[in-house]
Amino acid sequence: MSALVGPPAYCAHIAEVLLSQEQLRRRVGELAAEVSRDYAGKDLVLIGVLNGAVVFLADLLRALTIPAELEFVGASSYGDGIVSYGTCELTKDLDRSIEGKHAVVVEDIVDTGRTLAALVECLELKGAASVEVCALLDKPSRRTVELHPRYIGFEIPDSFVVGYGLDFAQHYRGLPYVAVLEPEAYESTT
């Protein structure tokens, strides 16, 4: 287990560090190299899903070796809970057209896949030349829809994780690693 980094209140409910800062840095670099290779010479737009993907998106964008536009969408299926409530709420739409551009949706975690599947469909209807998904974390055991992200950072077990942009009730996003949250921290919300 890596050393816990962060204020003591943050660390009090961390069961274990699942992915260290170094593991994240290395894998984000590898993903950026793949995206750079696959989209060289193409009109690329990275679409970050707010709020959880912001940290991952920033690191990915800085590691690219090709130009890319940046857009954001807001989509929610969790609220302040730990289980997806099965609907996708679009809380922020794109600011510019993506018609004819190659879109890579950058997401923090793929769980059931419902939110991302709906978002991919929406972006295809907006006229994108192609739409792919780049997810930092993937929980394929929880998938309830047909969705296969093109780029996956890490496949993880079915644990509730926080840090590196991922939150529980808007907390823990600033941790520089991905950690498993102790059930006691969220039991009363389920």
* 144-158 pLDDT, tens digit each: 999 999 999 999 999
Quote the tokens at residue 43.
């009109």
Please indicate, yes or no, if residue 188 is contained in any of the structural domains: no
Please indicate, yes or no, if residue 122 is contained in any of the structural domains: yes
Compute the distance between CA of residue 11 and CA of residue 43 in angstroms, rounded to an integer: 42
Please indicate, yes or no, if residue 174 is contained in any of the structural domains: no
Q: Which DSSP string corresponds to 121-140?
A: HHHHHTT-SEEEEEEEEE-G
Compute the distance between CA of residue 25 and CA of residue 119 in angstroms, rounded to an integer: 27
Over 70: is that where the pLDDT of 88 sits? no
Question: Domain tally for the chain?
Answer: 1
pLDDT band at residue 93 under the 50/70/90 scheme:
confident
Compute the distance between CA of residue 173 and CA of residue 55 in angstroms, rounded to an integer: 8
Quote the tokens at residue 75.
């989509």
More confident residue, 115 or 103: 103
Please indicate, yes or no, if residue 73 is contained in any of the structural domains: yes
How many angstroms separate the Cα of 120 from the Cα of each of 20, 114, 155? 30, 10, 20
Compute the distance between CA of residue 123 and CA of residue 15 in angstroms, rounded to an integer: 37
Over 80: is that where the pLDDT of 89 sits? no
Please indicate, yes or no, if residue 190 is contained in any of the structural domains: no
pLDDT band at residue 82 under the 50/70/90 scheme:
very low
Is residue 114 within 8 Å of 84, Cβ to Cβ? yes
Over 90: is that where the pLDDT of 3 sits? no
What pairing do the DSSP bridges indicate for beta strands 130-138 and 151-155?
parallel
Q: How big is the CA angle at 160 (ends 155 and 165), to the nearest 5 degrees? A: 80
Please indicate, yes or no, if residue 116 is contained in any of the structural domains: yes
Compute the distance between CA of residue 8 and CA of residue 15 in angstroms, rounded to an integer: 13
Over 50: is that where the pLDDT of 128 sits? yes
Q: Is 37 exposed, middle or buried (0-12, 13-18, 19+ CB in 10 A)?
A: exposed
Quote the tokens at residue 88.
């996708």
| Residue 110 belongs to domain with CATH number | 3.40.50.2020
Residue 119 belongs to domain spanning: 22-157
Active site residues: 111
Please indicate, yes or no, if residue 186 is contained in any of the structural domains: no
Please indicate, yes or no, if residue 181 is contained in any of the structural domains: no
